[in-house]
Amino acid sequence: MPVTEEKLTEIKSDLSDPILQKIFNFQDQRNTDSLVVYFDHKDPSYRYASAMAMGSVQDEKAIEDLGILLNDDIEEVSIAAAYALGQTGGEKAEQFLISSFQKDDSLSQSANFNKTVLEAVGKCASAPLLNALSTIKTYTRRDTALLEGQAWGIYRFGLRNIVSKEGTERMIKLVSENGYPESVRTIAANYLQRARNIKLDSLAAPLIIAMGRSDDPKTQMALAMALGKTKAPEALQTLKTRYNISKDYRVKCNIIRAFNNFDYANVRELVLEALKNPNLNLALTASQYLIDKGDAREAVDYWKMAKDTSYPWQIRSSLYRAANKHLPPYFEVTKGKINIELRQIILNSSNHYEKAAAIMALSEHGWNYRFISQQGLASSIPVVRTACADAISHIANYPEFSKWFGLGHRKVKRDIAVFLQNAIKSGDVGMMYVSAEVLSKKELEFSSLIDSTQFLETALSGLNLPKDIETYNAVSKALNFFKGIPAEPKTPDYNNPIDWNLAKSISETTRAVIVTAKGNVTIQFFQEQTPASVNNFVKLAKNGFFDGKSFHRVVPNFVVQDGCPRGDGYGGANYSIRSELPMMYYDGEGYVGMASAGKDTEGTQWFITHSPTPHLDGRYTIFGKVVEGMNIVHNIGVGDIIDKIVISK
């Protein structure tokens, strides 16, 4: 009898396996040709790993090979291939995905594969396929995987700004009718919240029904934003009612954001009440509403509240900004007092972030541009310097710049052009980035005020790659804009191989404990899925890199972010790591992800999510999750400091 080789069916993930290490190395090196070789390996573990690696590499050259792998007899492998095809974003993947869909699956044995195919179609297929996807009506309310796949597919189309009436109608049905799984409702609600160019003004009724049928905050917070888009009086009443009964601050935050679609007078009472809420995120959201939609008749009241020291400094800064923005021009004396008080904060506060907030408040009165420019170029504090550049950018982007400055607008614009050039010459990467972005805007017409591009060429040559990649790309974009040629963002060269010796010291039980004055936050790692990112974080933590670093970015009901040595979001170490994008989802709170300035630009900055952020799926590395102390994460504010991060077994 001939010898028969046993067929391998189990998928293993052992990072001590030298072949798996090699596959991860090829992924890290973006070596498509070497990865494709493993598509034919007899061990499904390697076929799976190499296919999933292509979800990070995203090379359209692999589409045909991945298309063949869709027919693998191990489902996990075919699912990985389907996911990777979607990640390529190439329309050539469309036909492979459609052909592989298991239509005759009456026993739902291929439900998970079909779900992945439907979602992948939404990432790469052409617009006509959206209609076909949206009009599938054969899935029953018990076909959870298929319904999730359909909803994800429509959602992913929406993120690409491809929408249709049929797609929106399907999502309305999924979120509002009885019997559909909550997971499907959440996806549909996120589509209705985030998709652009969809018309919801006539759909208040089913959205109100949907809000009443869901008790899940993940669905409610997305529905709140969708309801706001309708701008209907009955939607506003529902939002107010939900605000008063909801116990989840994240739902309340999104309701206040939805209030932006309604008249100030109709929401004023709730917004002012929220300002006093002890939850800083909710109070911040309310103060942002006043900046965006405040009433000129109450601007003096905002100023008076800003002087009330019972409010946290973040709220007081926002109130100052709201007052400065909305106060009518003829209140010259009051405006003068507001701006004097803001300048005193900038000159006297020991809190760099409070200084930065005061600078942004000053930018709501454009004639402060001289003071802001002087402060920006004179300061040695990166947070302050970048805030000054942001403030000048804000002034330069005034919708009615000429009208605001009147007869003096040409001189003001010339002065701003001088500041932008000096900011780029300064060598400060934060100021350089912001200023280059302003110069790149065609509609602002700064090109006529710049005599030579030599300062941009000199600035480029002085930047340190890969650390300054974000600023490098911004300055390069400005230079190419002035030259009239298209700009292609640069990706850092491969420069930081995975340290497999360090990886050996990291196990399933390894934890990171983030120690802060407000309490501790414990993170578990996803080492098997994202070893390079986990290694990077562990190494930095063990070396004390994060000790004393500030949470420099906090967006209510979105993320808290840390890891910037400058404290303004433009700093890092002189290396980069690659994006690791296996099939993982930001489907809840507490996910730890890598911040980036584009694919393969990650370094030292990372974030923790407050709530589901599905628009980040497949684009931002997930390398961990909070397992203890999520209440601390929700309580973190800008400027809060990490005392240390302890890595434990």
Q: Which of 26, 16, 28, 30 has the alpha carbon at shortest distance from 501?
A: 16
What is the rounded CA–CA span in Å between residue 55 and residue 61? Answer: 13
Whether residue 200 contacts residue 173, with contact meaning beta carbons closer than 8 Å, is answered with no
pLDDT at 9 over 90: no
pLDDT tens-place string over residues 378-393: 999 999 999 999 999 9
Reduced to 3 states (helix: H, G, I; strand: E, B; else coil), residue 462 is: helix
CATH code at 7-126: 1.25.10.10
Whether residue 92 contacts residue 126, with contact meaning beta carbons closer than 8 Å, is answered with no
pLDDT tens-place string over residues 135-157: 998 999 999 999 999 999 999 99
Give residue 1's pLDDT: 57
* Percent of the chain scoring above 70 in pLDDT: 99
Biggest distance spanned by C-alpha atoms of the chain: 101
Give residue 104's pLDDT: 81
Give residue 3's pLDDT: 55
pLDDT tens-place string over residues 413-464: 999 999 999 999 999 999 999 999 999 999 999 999 999 999 999 999 999 9
Give residue 8's pLDDT: 84
CATH architecture of 500-648: Beta Barrel (2.40)
Q: Residue 419's CB: how many other CB atoms inside 10 A?
A: 24
* Percent of the chain scoring above 90 in pLDDT: 96
Report residue 184 as tokens.
């499907």
Q: What is the 3-state secondary structure (H, E, C) of 212-262?
A: HHCCCHHHHHHHHHHHHHHCCHHHHHHHHHHHHHCCCHHHHHHHHHHHHHC
pLDDT tens-place string over residues 468-504: 999 999 999 999 999 999 989 999 999 999 999 999 9
Question: Where are the chain's structural domains?
Answer: 7-126, 369-490, 500-648
pLDDT tens-place string over residues 511-552: 999 999 999 999 999 999 999 999 999 999 999 999 999 999
CA distances from 205 to 164, 171, 176, 232 (A): 20, 14, 9, 9
Report residue 612 as tokens.
């589901």
Give residue 4's pLDDT: 55
Give residue 649's pLDDT: 83
Question: Which residues partner with 560 through β-bridges?
Answer: 554, 608
pLDDT tens-place string over residues 628-643: 999 999 999 999 999 9
pLDDT tens-place string over residues 239-298: 999 999 999 999 999 999 999 999 999 999 999 999 999 999 999 999 999 999 999 999
Whether residue 469 contacts residue 597, with contact meaning beta carbons closer than 8 Å, is answered with yes
Burial of 56 (C-beta count, 10 Å sphere; 0-12/13-18/19+): buried
Helix, strand, coil: what percent of the chain each, to 5? 60, 5, 35
What is the rounded CA–CA span in Å between residue 83 and residue 114? Answer: 11
- Which strands make up the sheet holding 622-628, listed edge to edge? 553-555, 559-562, 606-609, 591-594, 622-628, 519-525, 511-516, 642-648
pLDDT tens-place string over residues 81-122: 999 999 999 999 999 999 999 988 776 789 999 999 999 999
pLDDT at 198 over 90: yes
Crossing angle of the two packed helices 352-362 and 313-326, in degrees rounded to 10:
10
Mean pLDDT of the chain, nearest integer = 96
pTM reported for the whole predicted model = 0.97
Sign of CA dihedral 202, 206, 209, 211: negative
Q: What is the mean pLDDT of residues 609-617?
A: 98
pLDDT at 569 over 60: yes
pLDDT at 337 over 80: yes
